[in-house]
Structure 1
Amino acid sequence: MKDLRLVVNLSKNDFKVKYAGSYFGVFWAFFNPIVQILIFWFVFQVGFQSGPVNGYPFVLWLIAGMTPWFFYSDALTSVTNCFAEYSFLVKKVVFNIDILPIVKITSSSFVHFFFILLMIIIYVLNGYKPDIYYLQIPYFILCNFAVVLSISYLTSAVVVFFKDLSQIVIISLQLLNWLTPIMWNYTMVSEQYRWLLKLNPLYYIVEGFRDTFINKVWFFEHPVNTLYFWGICLVSMLVSKKVYTKLKPHFSDVL
Structure 2
Amino acid sequence: MQFFRQFLSFLTEILSKRQIIIELTKADFKKKYLGSLLGMFWAFVHPTVYIAIVWFVFQVGFKTQPMDNFPFVLWMLAGIIPWFFFSECLASASNSILDNAFLVKKMVFSIGMLPLIKILSSLLIHIFFIIVIFAMFAIYGYLPSLYNLQVFYYLFCTITLLIGLSWLTSSLTLFLRDTGQVVTMVLQFAFWMTPIFWSPKGLSPGTLNIIKLNPVYYIVEGYRESFIYKQWFWESHYMLTIYFWCLTTLILFAGAMVFKRLRPHFADVL
Q: TM-score, normalization: structure 1?
A: 0.96
Displacement of 1:2 in angstroms is 5.1
Question: In structure 2, how many angstroms separate the alpha carbons of the residues matched to 1:168 and 1:21?
Answer: 31
1:143 aligns with 2:157: yes
One of 192, 202, 206 as aligned partner of 2:206: 192
Equivalent in the alignment of 1:99: 113
Question: In structure 2, how many angstroms separate the alpha carbons of the residues matched to 1:175 and 1:192?
Answer: 19
One of 201, 209, 229 as aligned partner of 2:244: 229
Question: In structure 1, how many angstroms separate the alpha carbons of the residues matched to 2:57 and 2:185?
Answer: 22
Aligned pairs for 1:81-160 (under 5 A) are 81-160=95-174
3-state DSSP of counterpart to 2:112 = helix
Equivalent in the alignment of 2:60: 46
1:202 aligns with 2:216: yes
Equivalent in the alignment of 2:265: 250
Deviations 1:63-87 (A, max 9, x none): 0001100000110011001111222
Deviations 1:153-209 (A, max 9, x none): 110001112222112211221111111001111113223321111101000000000
Give the stretch that moved more between structures: 64-73 or 50-59.
Answer: 50-59
Q: TM-score, normalization: structure 2?
A: 0.91
Identical pairs, percent? 45
- Structure 2 gaps of 5+ residues are 1-14
Question: In structure 2, how many angstroms separate the alpha carbons of the residues matched to 1:40 and 1:189?
Answer: 24
Question: In structure 1, how many angstroms separate the alpha carbons of the residues matched to 2:181 and 2:36?
Answer: 23
One of 229, 235, 253 as aligned partner of 1:238: 253
How many matched pairs? 255
3-state DSSP of counterpart to 2:26 = helix
Equivalent in the alignment of 1:58: 72
1:12 aligns with 2:34: no
Deviations 1:208-236 (A, max 9, x none): 00001000000111211111101110111
4+ residue runs over 3 A deviation: none
